[in-house]
């Protein structure tokens, strides 16, 4: 009896296996975004301030009761020959009654996610472009980007293929209307 030959792994499979085996230092975050492994250091205080302000408003003011997870890994469809994207938003929001995060492993599909939040940090271009495309491909209905470099907040919505068809950008200090299931104006005055 002869042993069966194993097919060699593709470059994409090797990259995904290597990524999933990473042991990042405490506080660091590793993501696989459009075929590139991205490791970011722990965030600074201002980064966390913006997340905190938004999470508080979403929990208190949304028309639908929302659940939130920080550092929840999402597996998102990829484009082309890249392996599946593994992205960790700064915050992930879902309707509380879905209990989406309760039994989820470290990497979960994005089905049921209502919105993801990113606050720019050490790699702002990734948040503005690559992650935006990943979330759109994954069908995440809303992507909220707080861009600290430009002092603007942008809501991307209506995902189609590799991007969002709608975007609303306002400077810090102006309220941003969040649609259903949130249905309230996000206050950004304390971002200044």
Residue 33 within any structural domain of the chain? no
Tell me the per-residue pLDDT of 126-148, one tens digit each, with 9 for 90 and over.
999 999 999 999 999 999 999 99
The predicted structure's pLDDT at residue 1: 46
Residue 9 within any structural domain of the chain? no
Residue 26 within any structural domain of the chain? no
Q: How many domains does the chain have?
A: 1
- Residues 26, 67, 120, 38: is their CA dihedral positive or negative? positive
* Cβ atoms 129, 110 nearer than 8 A: no
* Cβ atoms 112, 98 nearer than 8 A: yes
Residue 3 in this model has a pLDDT that exceeds 60: no
If one counts every other C-beta atom within 10 angstroms of the C-beta of residue 86, the result is 21
Which carries the bigger pLDDT value, residue 146 or residue 121? 146
Tell me the per-residue pLDDT of 83-116, one tens digit each, with 9 for 90 and over.
578 899 999 999 999 999 988 988 999 999 999 9
Q: Which residues contact 179 (CB under 8 A, 6 or more apart)?
A: 142, 157
Give which of 28, 24, 26, 20 is closest to 85, Cα–Cα: 20
Spatial separation of the C-alpha atoms in residues 123 and 145, rounded to whole Å: 13
The predicted structure's pLDDT at residue 87: 93
Residue 65 within any structural domain of the chain? yes
The predicted structure's pLDDT at residue 4: 56
Residue 35 within any structural domain of the chain? no
Residue 79 within any structural domain of the chain? no
Residue 18 within any structural domain of the chain? no
Tell me the per-residue pLDDT of 22-72, one tens digit each, with 9 for 90 and over.
888 888 888 788 888 888 888 877 999 999 999 999 999 999 999 999 978
Residue 81 within any structural domain of the chain? no
The predicted structure's pLDDT at residue 164: 98
Segment 169-189 mean pLDDT: 98
The predicted structure's pLDDT at residue 82: 53
CATH number of the domain that 97 lies in?
Answer: 3.90.1570.10
The predicted structure's pLDDT at residue 5: 61
Q: How confident is the model at residue 10 (pLDDT cuts 50, 70, 90)?
A: confident
pTM above 0.95, yes or no: no
Q: Return the HEC string of 89-105.
A: CCEEEEEHHHCCCCCCC
User: Residue 76 has which token pair?
Assistant: 């998102």
Give which of 161, 181, 167 is closest to 67, Cα–Cα: 181
Tell me the per-residue pLDDT of 72-85, one tens digit each, with 9 for 90 and over.
899 987 665 555 78
Q: Residue 120: which domain range?
A: 44-72+87-191
The predicted structure's pLDDT at residue 179: 98
* Cβ atoms 147, 126 nearer than 8 A: no
């Amino acid at each position: 009896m002869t042993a069966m030959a194993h097919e060699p792994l593709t470059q994409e499979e090797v990259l995904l296996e290597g990524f999933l085996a990473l042991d990042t230092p405490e506080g660091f975050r590793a993501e696989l975004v459009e075929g590139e492994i991205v490791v970011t250091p722990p965030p600074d205080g201002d980064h966390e301030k913006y997340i905190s302000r938004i999470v508080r408003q979403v929990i208190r003011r949304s028309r639908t009761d929302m659940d939130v997870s920080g550092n929840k890994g999402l597996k998102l469809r990829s484009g082309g020959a890249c392996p599946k994207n593994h992205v960790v938003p700064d915050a992930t929001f879902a309707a509380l009654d879905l209990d989406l995060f309760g039994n989820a492993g470290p990497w979960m599909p994005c089905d049921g996610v209502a919105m993801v939040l990113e606050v720019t940090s050490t790699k702002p271009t990734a948040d503005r472009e690559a992650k935006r495309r990943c979330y759109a491909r994954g069908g995440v209905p809303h992507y909220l980007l707080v861009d600290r470099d430009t002092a603007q907040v942008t809501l991307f919505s209506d995902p189609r293929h590799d991007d969002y068809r709608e975007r609303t950008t306002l400077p810090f200090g102006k309220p941003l209307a969040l649609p259903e299931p949130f249905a309230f104006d996000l206050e950004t005055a304390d971002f200044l």
